[in-house]
């Protein structure tokens, strides 16, 4: 009877060891499969820095997914955080109904993933607006920018300058471009210089090509022709 019990225990011991070997083999197989996949994708030069990190973390999670311990898997997932995307010397094209409306260039772009899905331009930006014929209508520069990808609104601030094709120049410290409505507006102090005059006041509403604009609260007008006399 004791011999049968010993044999029974030995059989279960062997089964447990086999199960452990199967689990380890499963982990190694999944890990090496994804590493091979990453190597293949990298050879196609499609990976970005943030995507590489995401795939490596994904491989790690999968290698542990063969484990039967749910607490171990949960603890691993709790440590993972989606990294921000960053890019240097970026160029972004904005279009509507297949027509290019604007091109944005910036020395640094940072993506913040979350509920708002924000794109930040902490080192400034240069935005060029085009008409339907592809001609430049106006240009916008600022020292800082922040775009909400969900609402398609972009905040430009710190020494904002807009110059349209007529040479009219807008200076302000804060401006918002709404891509959906094709409008730009501001609640801050604005200064507009044309060939004949300088207008300054608070608040602005204009179309995105800055061919038509309204200063909401005009504080003063300087006639440049009178000044030149």
User: What is the sign, positive or negative, of the torsion defined by CA atoms of 222, 227, 228, 229?
Assistant: positive
Local mean pLDDT, 10-residue blocks, the chain (229 residues)? 44 48 54 51 44 43 45 42 75 88 95 84 96 92 94 95 96 95 95 95 94 94 74
pLDDT at 227: 56
Rounded CA-CA distance 19/24 in Å is 9
pLDDT for residue 115: 74
Main-chain dihedrals φ then ψ at residue 171, nearest 5 degrees: -125, 130
Query: Radius of gyration (Cα) for the chain, nearest Å?
Result: 30
Comparing C-alpha atoms, which of 190, 116, 103 is closest to residue 146? Answer: 116
Quote the CA–CA distance of 77 and 61 in Å, as a whole number.
7
Residue-level pLDDT at 87: 92
């Amino acid at each position: 009877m004791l011999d049968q019990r010993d044999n029974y225990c030995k059989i279960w011991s062997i089964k447990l060891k086999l199960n452990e070997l199967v689990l380890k083999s499963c982990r190694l197989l999944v890990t090496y499969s994804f590493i091979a996949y990453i190597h293949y994708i990298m050879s196609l030069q499609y990976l970005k820095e943030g995507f590489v990190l995401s795939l490596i973390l994904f491989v790690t999670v999968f290698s542990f997914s063969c484990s039967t311990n749910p607490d171990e898997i949960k603890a691993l997932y709790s440590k993972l955080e989606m990294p921000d995307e960053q890019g240097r010397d970026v160029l972004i094209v904005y279009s509507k109904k297949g027509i290019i409306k604007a091109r944005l260039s910036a020395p640094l772009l940072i993506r913040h993933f979350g509920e708002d899905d924000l794109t930040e331009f902490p080192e400034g930006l240069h935005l060029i607006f085009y008409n339907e014929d592809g001609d430049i209508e106006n240009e916008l520069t600022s020292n800082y920018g922040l775009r909400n990808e969900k609402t398609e609104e972009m905040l430009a601030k710190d020494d904002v300058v807009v110059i349209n094709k007529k040479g009219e120049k807008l200076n302000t410290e804060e401006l918002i471009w709404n891509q959906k409505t094709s409008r730009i507006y501001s609640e801050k102090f604005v200064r507009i210089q044309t060939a004949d005059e300088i207008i300054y006041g608070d608040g602005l509403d204009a179309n995105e090509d800055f061919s038509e604009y309204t200063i909401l609260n005009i504080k003063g007008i300087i006639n440049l022709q009178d000044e030149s006399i």
